[in-house]
Amino acid sequence: MELFDPERVAAAANADPEFQLASRFWTTSIRIDIGETPLLLKVTDGRVERFSELNESEARESPWTYRISAPAVDWTQFLEPVPKPFYQDLMAGVYRHGFVLEGDESEFYPHYSAADRLFAIARSVAATS
Amino acid sequence: MARFDSAVGRYTYLTIDGTEYRVYFEEAGQGIPLILMHTAGADGRQWRHILEDPDVQKDYRMIVPDLPYHGKSVPPTGKEWWTEEYKLTRDFFMKTTIALSHELGLDHPVYMGSSIGGHLAGDLALYHPEEFRAVIGLEAALSTPGGYEDTLDHPRIGNQYKGAIMRGITSPHSPEPYRREAAWIYNQGAPEVFRGDIYYYCVDHDLTETVDGIDTSKVAVYLLTGEYDYGSTPEMSEEMARRIPGSNYQTMEGLGHFPMQEDPERFRGYILPVLEAIREAPRMPAAARTG
């Protein structure tokens, strides 16, 4: 992954006080497509167990219940330390850029704060990558 | 010696469509009356910084209500509101604002609001220009369809979601404590109220076909929108201004959907000149306002 190291993001999230508070009760498997690169985010009871690229067989098995995707160019803008307008938030990207959310909203939306914090951490990691 | 803010709060009673509402409002300053309206699912706390601004206080008597069902304005006791789906309509929103003005005896106040409050600026200018000397729409647009969703009032999705997405519509340039304060207020409203207010924002407010009826010789119209507002974008507000001859529009760089709350220092750089222009403008004769 060129934009950021997802395993560094996972480690930083698990050590982050705000993420720990926001992610309580969050158990999920989310596929995150950074352009053509698919990642799997697996969280159990608020702890990130895995954040790494999916291999081809995993991609076929579809071990996720929610999916976030956008072209790489949009992720690049989204991960800027101070994003340009409408890249400051996932929902902003859905409304005004190329981000797509797929899956059961009532599963993902209750944990939006945790996801938002995870992406803020990804911004920090991307800035030092 | 205790340290006090200068804003003071109290309650008044407004009768709208035969139902009495106990409505909370705060006020500060003296001079030209200025009604300040909050956003969907929020309350008057969003204006706390402006209420304390001495440069506004010296020329304006600011009035900041909590709409019925919001903040300290609890639902009415005279109707079984719990048997009806809560929806903020354009008609109720306009009647409440005008009833407040009349009840307090305000003389052709200036009106300013953000988001739903910004949309109301356009509706008041079209339907009740005789009531106001100027309207200021923050984050206003002709229409903003597409966001009236069940997820905004769903038993499996708590208010944390509302706070989180509302923080996401602020600007990354705004001070983090104020962005968090904006989210904090959204974490607190009655669950059905935000969605009900969005009914007005996304459905019942639509000036697309009627905006040409706004006459700035009757009421001055100012529109300002934050650069980072993805709900009502600067382009959308600019389009509205283009359709209202004589109106004024400005993009507020580095601000989002809650300019008065998320970065009051940056906001005052935009709003003080507008308030000064309104103060300096000659009063329109009553005949012009009603004609």
Report pLDDT for B159: 94
Question: Residues 6 or more apart from B87 whose CB is under 8 A from it?
Answer: B196, B199, B200, B204
In a domain, B243, yes or no: yes
Find the helix or strand (DSSP H, E) in which B256 lies.
none
Q: Which of A101, A113, A117 to mutate to test the interface with B (most CBs of B within 10 A)?
A: A113
Q: Region B99-107: what's the mean pLDDT?
A: 98
A20: closest CA of chain B, how far (Å): 15
Q: From CA B21, how far away is CA B81, in angstroms rounded?
A: 12
Degrees, nearest 5: CA angle A15-B166-B118: 160
Contact A43, A49 (CB under 8 A): yes
Q: Which residue has the tokens 């109707």?
A: B79
Question: For residue A89, which of A119, A46, A49 has the smallest C-alpha distance?
Answer: A119
In a domain, A96, yes or no: yes
Q: Which residue has the tokens 């996720």?
A: A64
Pairing of strands B32-37, B60-65: parallel
In a domain, B287, yes or no: no
Burial class (CB in 10 A: 0-12, 13-18, 19+), A113: buried
Number of domains forming the structure of chain A: 1
At B287, the pLDDT band (50, 70, 90 cuts) reads: low
Q: Which residue has the tokens 């009806």?
A: B84
Quote ipTM for the complex: 0.96
Task: Say if residue B291's pLDDT is above 60.
Answer: no
Task: Say if residue B286's pLDDT is above 80.
Answer: no
B213: domain CATH number? 3.40.50.1820
A87: closest CA of chain B, how far (Å): 9
Domain enclosing residue B158, as ranges: 8-281
At A129, the pLDDT band (50, 70, 90 cuts) reads: confident
Q: Which of A90, A106, A116 sits opposite B156 (nearest CB)?
A: A106
In a domain, A1, yes or no: no
Q: List the structure tokens of B135.
A: 């309207």
In a domain, B290, yes or no: no
Burial class (CB in 10 A: 0-12, 13-18, 19+), B40: buried
List CB contacts (< 8 A) between A112 and chain B. Answer: 160-161, 164-165
Question: For residue B103, which of B200, B33, B203 has the smallest C-alpha distance?
Answer: B33
Q: From CA A75, how far away is CA A72, in angstroms rounded?
A: 5
At A60, the pLDDT band (50, 70, 90 cuts) reads: confident
Contact B21, B73 (CB under 8 A): yes
Tell me how crowded residue B282 is: count the other CB atoms within 10 A of its CB: 5
Q: What is the mean pLDDT of chain B?
A: 96
Q: Chain A within 8 Å of B132 (Cβ-Cβ)? A: no
List CB contacts (< 8 A) between B163 and chain A. Answer: 113
Question: For residue A96, which of B144, B173, B142, B238 has the smallest C-alpha distance?
Answer: B144
Q: From CA B20, how far away is CA B79, in angstroms rounded?
A: 9
Half-sphere exposure of B17 (CA within 13 A, CB side): 9
Report pLDDT for B222: 98
Number of domains forming the structure of chain B: 1
Burial class (CB in 10 A: 0-12, 13-18, 19+), B231: buried
In a domain, B2, yes or no: no
Contact B157 A85 (CB under 8 A): no
Domain enclosing residue A82, as ranges: 6-127
Q: Which of left, alpha, beta for A46 (phi over 0: left; psi -120 to 50: alpha)?
A: left
Contact B233 A96 (CB under 8 A): yes
A11: domain CATH number? 3.30.1050.10
pTM: 0.96
Pairing of strands B220-226, B248-252: parallel
What backbone phi and psi angles, to 5 degrees, belong to B213? -80, -5
In a domain, B286, yes or no: no
For B155-214, what is each residue's pLDDT tens digit? 999 999 999 999 999 999 999 999 999 999 999 999 999 999 999 999 999 999 999 999
What backbone phi and psi angles, to 5 degrees, belong to B274? -65, -45
Q: Chain B within 8 Å of A17 (Cβ-Cβ)? A: no
Contact A85 B228 (CB under 8 A): yes
For B209-255, what is each residue's pLDDT tens digit? 999 999 999 999 999 999 999 999 999 999 999 999 999 999 999 99
Contact B160 A86 (CB under 8 A): no
Distances (CA, A) of B234 to B75, B111, B160, B178, B224: 35, 20, 27, 22, 8
